[in-house]
Amino acid sequence: MPEIKVQNGNMAAATGAALCRPDVIAAYPITPQTPVVEYLTQFKADGEIESTMSEVESELSAMSVVTGASLAGSRTFTATASQGLALMYEPYFRASTLRLPIVMAVVNREMISPQTLWGGPQDALCVRDAGWIQIYVEDNQEILDTIILAFRLAEDKGVLLPVNVCYDGFYLSHMSERVEVPDQASVDAFLPHYVPEHIKLDPVRPMSVDPLTNGYLLTEYRLRHTQGHQRALKLIDELDAEFANQFGRSYGGLVEEYCNTDSDAVLVTMGSMTGVAREAVDLARARGRKIGLLKLRAVRPFPGARVVKAIAGRKAFGVVDRSVSFGWGTGITFREIRSAMYGEGSNIPAVPMIGGLGGEDVTIEHMMLAIDCIYQAVESGLSNETVWLNKEIDIM
């Protein structure tokens, strides 16, 4: 029987991971992820999990230990945030190109400089092309559920790619919500035992792992890697349905649409700010605007087709990003969505918006302002310059 508990995001992540019975866990504490490590070591001390734990001395080692264990055949879990993710970039890239089904929770935190601790997906978004699957979640229930889904997705024989489950630091990690925790038996039924066949360091079946490789072979491995992502595109939606069937909760798969069927404009958000966006959409609709909301969940593989389907035929769309794509001057997911709209829908006015950086609140007023900017674009028929929501701006 599932249990209803009050859990903060970090506890939800630790609980989700524990339910998946990882064989080896190695993580290094970093704000705002630290409680995840603490909870997991407490579970182990209390005999609630049987995972072998390693208290490593940096994130470089955390990802390295977990990669080594996964190469030997373990199911593995780790977690980190911003600076830690940056520090582990070397083995992080390798985890995906060696097709290791590692699941890592990233407690999204703004990157230094300036000196900061607070929430934002800049950290994980900056490494989105390192080959991992990345899913960004909105609330604590989704954290727990997505971690379970992540293992199932990662270990699928057609995918075999590591997965990042990303959630906003402090907004989710340190905030308590009602979370329904599934029972162990249900999770065991959803998540079969992991047995690696494609790569293994085992004296019983000797092979060299990662020998020096010629370009023509490297090209093939890259191509197959992209195919893993293609398979994930389908599987993420399929698994969402299967999960809904078994546990009664659905998140839409690659993206979720809210009030979007009859919309004439679309607001796009990701992560915890989606909660405020939903409120703003309800408010705007009450005032007569037919705005729809698109919540981006998967950034890799990028759900191009589903994004196009959600936005095509509308009169404008706007993306509120909690990140910056330096050199473009817009947010990062805005660029991804804009790219997807090339072709069918390329002439739809697009409004890039940036808000909530460095842990600043994205309030309902900001979201209403965002919707106003989108409707400005509807009227003018033109795309906008980037709107920085937390700064003073003029509305024409």
Nearer to other proteins, 160 or 340 (CB): 160
User: Rounded CA gap, 58 and 62, in Å?
Assistant: 6
Neighbours of 193 (CB within 10 A): 8
Kindly tell me which residue out of 31, 64, 82, 173 binds other proteins, with binding defined by CB under 8 A.
64
User: Rounded CA gap, 73 and 382, in Å?
Assistant: 54
Site residue total, other proteins (CB under 8 A): 55
Element (H, E) at 291: strand 291-296
Q: How far is the CA of 171 from the CAs of 94, 174, 247, in angstroms?
A: 30, 6, 25
Show Cβ contacts of residue 277 under 8 Å, excluding neighbours closer than 6 positions.
267, 269, 293, 295, 320, 367
Nearer to other proteins, 231 or 338 (CB): 231
CA 198 from chain centre, in angstroms, equals 26
Kindly tell me which residue out of 74, 173, 269, 323 binds other proteins, with binding defined by CB under 8 A.
74
- Among the candidate windows 11-19, 201-209, 269-277, 383-391, which touches other proteins by CB under 8 A? 201-209
User: Closest separation between CB of residue 159 and other proteins, Å?
Assistant: 11
* 208 binds other proteins, rule: CB under 8 A: yes
Nearer to other proteins, 64 or 376 (CB): 64
Kindly tell me which residue out of 81, 95, 144, 160 binds other proteins, with binding defined by CB under 8 A.
160
Task: Identify the bridge partners of residue 325 per DSSP, sorted by sequence position.
Answer: 330
Own/partner contacts of 230-234, CB < 8 Å, gap of 24 or more, are 230/301, 231/156, 231/158, 231/159, 232/133, 232/153, 232/156, 232/159, 232/161, 232/301, 233/298, 233/301, 233/303
* 201 binds other proteins, rule: CB under 8 A: yes
Annotate each residue in 227-256 with x if it binds other proteins (CB under 8 A) or - if it does not, as one string. -x----------------------------
- Among the candidate windows 104-112, 177-185, 209-217, 246-254, which touches other proteins by CB under 8 A? 209-217
* 172 binds other proteins, rule: CB under 8 A: no
* 72 binds other proteins, rule: CB under 8 A: yes
In the complex, the residues that contact other proteins under the rule CB under 8 A are 23-24, 26, 51-52, 54-58, 60-61, 64-74, 76, 90-91, 94, 97-99, 160, 198-203, 205-214, 216-218, 220-221, 224-225, 228
